[in-house]
């Protein structure tokens, strides 16, 4: 990372690059958010594809600029597909994001997320505090797929996990925390309404794939995503505080947000 | 039920309780409505989780305050997961709702719904008249997943089913009918626009899970749900009579509706 | 086709018929678009059903007025269900639409689409230029599930495919091209915003099922669909050019569009 350029400047540049290059983001994700995720990627300027058949995931990864693995509605066959896709992505240097939805809630989720960390070696893991605590071996106390722990409680776990797995860990909450084990920042963008629609975390993970496709520094890419997405959440909330309308406006904002908006409204501090 | 308190008063109290306790509602439901259902539960104040892997459904039921089984896009593996989850819910006294989507349309749906009645012993079965007739052994004449019979035609079937299965049967239509085999009421809330968006019945079943989590009298919980959801439908329709916008406003209404609204607008009569 | 009646007049008549008869359209489609597709069919006046279990697809086809096969998120079990459903539809003269999503992107998609052409003998194949080129044996150069080739580049491939498979091929793009190998037309309705929401092509295929259910001339039905849907896209775009709001308005437009609108705004020329 060019030390003369801030994370926010890089976020603005990343957004421009997504809209110029339309990176193909291959998602193996959960049923609940497939539609919203695809629409969010399209809105921001990326090109989504969903594919999970073992017969084709390797070939699809070969076409993709980033891979996003999300265990929100996992099952045996889907996990196997994620493993195959994750390995193919490693071989091809296709950057990968892992969203460990619900890790800590059930043993199956925790173990699957841990297995995918090893098999797919994701560049970025994005989760809520409970999920990150669970992945780091702590007690996530996840309640269903919702976070109960605060971001601060997961700070050490995130840093340890980042160092151990040599990846970036993005913990999202009222304030987001992004670390690669050495560098760390806090992002104050976002709005509580984002927690009132299903899949806002999953959208953040998918968008991270889009930024990773155009930004080789994964810590910058993960931070850039949360700045941009957080600003979109603020804009949508400024227009409507009811969850149905908010979801519609959030997609509108992903389309309408400009690099200049990120420069104007990004709120990041090195932690 | 306290005889001095009306069903509408209990509905208002239930809505308050959902917003205070955010009950976790575990859904094993169909692909079509997963997103809408999760958003509806979040909007009303509950906490949704979707999980169907045999490896985790028991553990997830252990965390849940209610279980909702919906056979809208059933397949062998999913039905087995529903059976496992339903049995676990019985053992743990986790209240369960069954939505027999399309019972009567194909033998597989009718038989699966009947099997789930036995295995999961749901506290509430919510369906349209055709589905309830099919479950009761009659000729539902279901056309796809749409109702063709009226609520009145299913009244006797619903009462018989409720007595035989010792559960509450909620038949939804122009006017809803809710019975536990002894008590019965008719609810006149709702709007025809609800039939113009996919999954409004599935949302009703999911919301029933939320009310069941905070209201131990299942007949009250099922009635309360249909009062609250019907009022939301009326409010959304008052703002827009086109189906796309209606769906968005319906989520907004689930968030905005207050206990006082239920007291003011609930239309129930003991039948 | 009555030579004294234009395609646009037939489109208007088809729309009226859909709203009178509410044809049941059985979809075996992808996870991403199930909700949107069901809502689009409901909005236009048809009745959707989604069912993919091998135990029931034959029986469901027996109830259906049209079958739509869409391979957007294919897997082995789903493909087998599509084959069973497609064969049942042939035996029962239930008209079938094939949407070869992503043909050309992976071998598995191309081969599956080719297999379904043979097994299901669809009356209409609707795809983007890349998919049609891939199906015709050319180099579709599909990038993920997005088209990269223009409609003109696929014209010959579409005509050859239509003649070889004795079906109608509808190629959608900036201008749509519909051919049965003898007749051909170009449809200039539509709006670029349709490409900014996921599943607009899938919706077009599902709506084709609705028109096929009420119009025995498959070339007319496919053309009518693209006229009607294109006009809805124009109307939605006239109200909002952001993708979230556009998607909501598109459903509203499918509900609000009238036969008179088609007569006024349809833009077709025999090619």
B79-91 residue pLDDT tens? 999 999 999 999 9
Which residues of A, range 127-186, sit inside 8 Å of B by Cβ?
A: 143-146
What number is the average pLDDT over the span A22-45? 98
Of A42, A50, A77, the CB nearest to C73: A50
Percent helix, strand and coil across chain A, each rounded to 5?
55, 15, 30
Q: Nearest chain C Cα to B141, which residue?
A: C63
Average pLDDT of chain C is 95
What number is the average pLDDT over the span A96-120? 97
Q: If DSSP codes are grouped into helix, strand and coil, which group holds residue A103?
A: strand
Best residue in A53, A64, A78 to probe C by mutation, most C CBs within 10 Å? A53
Of C30, C35, C198, the CB nearest to A42: C198
Q: Nearest chain A Cα to B57, which residue?
A: A106
Give A34's contacts in chain C (Cβ within 8 Å): 31-32, 73
Count CB atoms within 10 A of the CB of residue C41: 27
Report how far residue B35's alpha carbon sits from residue A31's, in angstroms, rounded to the nearest whole number: 8
Chain B interface includes A242 (CB < 8 A): yes
Count CB atoms within 10 A of the CB of residue B192: 10
Condensed to tens digits (0 to 9), the pLDDT of residues A125-176 reads 999 999 999 999 865 555 555 555 688 889 999 999 999 999 999 999 999 9
Indicate left, alpha or beta for C191 from its phi (over 0: left) and psi (-120 to 50: alpha).
beta
| Length of chain B as a residue count | 271
Among A42, A72, A23, smallest CA distance to A251 is for: A42
- Strands lying side by side in the sheet with A268-270: A47-50, A24-28, A66-70, A96-99, A124-127, A168-171, A176-179, A184-187, A268-270
CA–CA min distance C138, chain B (Å): 34
Which sequence spans correspond to the domains of chain B?
A: 7-172+182-270
Q: If DSSP codes are grouped into helix, strand and coil, which group holds residue A155?
A: helix
- What's residue B207's pLDDT? 98
- What's residue A142's pLDDT? 55
Tokens of residue C159, six digits: 């005509």
Buried b (16+ CB within 10 A) or exposed e, B164-190: ebebbbbbbbebbbbbbbebbbbbebb
- What's residue B145's pLDDT? 59
ipTM metric: 0.95
Taking one residue from A and the other from B, the number of pairs with CB-CB distance under 8 angstroms is: 94
Q: Percent of chain A scored above 90 by pLDDT?
A: 92
Partner-chain contact B77 A74, CB within 8 Å: no
CA–CA min distance C13, chain B (Å): 22
User: Dihedral of the CA atoms A142, A145, A148, A152 (nearest 10)?
Assistant: 90
CB A41 within 8 A of CB A68: no
Q: Could you tell me the pTM of the whole model?
A: 0.96
What number is the average pLDDT over the span C167-178? 97
CATH for B7-172+182-270, options being 3.40.50.170, 3.90.1150.10, 3.40.50.2000, 3.40.1190.20: 3.40.1190.20
Report how far residue A215's alpha carbon sits from residue A224's, in angstroms, rounded to the nearest whole number: 9
CB B178 within 8 A of CB B168: yes
- Ranges of residues in chain B with a pLDDT under 70 are 1-4, 138-149
Dump the DSSP string for A6-72.
-HHHHHHHHHHHHHHH--EEEEE--TTTHHHHHHHHHHHT-EEEE---TTTHHHHHHH-SEEEEE-T
Of A51, A63, A252, the CB nearest to C242: A252
CB C149 within 8 A of CB C139: no
Partner-chain contact A63 C144, CB within 8 Å: yes
Partner-chain contact B198 C35, CB within 8 Å: yes
According to DSSP, the residues that pair with B269 across neighbouring strands are B186
Partner-chain contact C50 B73, CB within 8 Å: yes
Q: What are phi and psi of A36, to 5 degrees?
A: -60, -40
Chain C interface includes A88 (CB < 8 A): no
Of B73, B76, B243, the CB nearest to C42: B243
Condensed to tens digits (0 to 9), the pLDDT of residues C215-241 reads 999 999 999 999 999 999 999 999 999
| Length of chain C as a residue count | 271
């Amino acid at each position: 990372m060019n030390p003369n350029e801030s994370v926010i400047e890089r976020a603005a540049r990343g957004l421009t690059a997504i809209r110029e290059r339309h990176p193909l983001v291959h998602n193996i994700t959960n049923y609940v958010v497939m539609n919203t995720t695809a629409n969010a990627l399209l809105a921001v300027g990326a090109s989504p594809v969903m594919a999970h058949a073992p017969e084709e995931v390797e070939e699809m990864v070969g076409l993709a600029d980033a891979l996003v693995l999300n265990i929100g509605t996992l099952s045996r066959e889907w996990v196997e597909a994620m493993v195959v896709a994750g390995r193919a992505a490693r071989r091809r240097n296709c950057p990968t994001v892992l969203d460990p939805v619900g890790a800590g809630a059930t043993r199956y989720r925790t173990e699957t997320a841990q297995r995918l960390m090893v098999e797919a070696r994701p560049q970025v893991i994005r989760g809520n505090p409970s999920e990150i605590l669970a992945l780091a071996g702590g007690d996530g106390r996840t309640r269903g797929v919702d976070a109960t722990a605060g971001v601060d409680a997961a700070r050490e776990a995130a840093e340890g996990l980042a160092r151990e797995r040599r990846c970036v860990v993005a913990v999202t909450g009222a304030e987001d925390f992004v670390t690669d084990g050495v560098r760390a920042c806090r992002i104050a963008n976002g709005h509580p309404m984002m927690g009132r629609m299903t899949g806002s975390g999953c959208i953040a993970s998918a968008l991270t794939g889009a930024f990773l496709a155009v930004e080789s520094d994964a810590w910058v890419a993960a931070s850039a995503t949360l700045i941009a997405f957080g600003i979109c959440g603020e804009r949508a909330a400024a227009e409507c505080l009811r969850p149905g309308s908010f979801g519609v406006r959030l997609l509108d904002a992903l389309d309408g947000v400009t690099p200049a908006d990120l420069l104007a409204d990004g709120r990041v501090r090195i932690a």
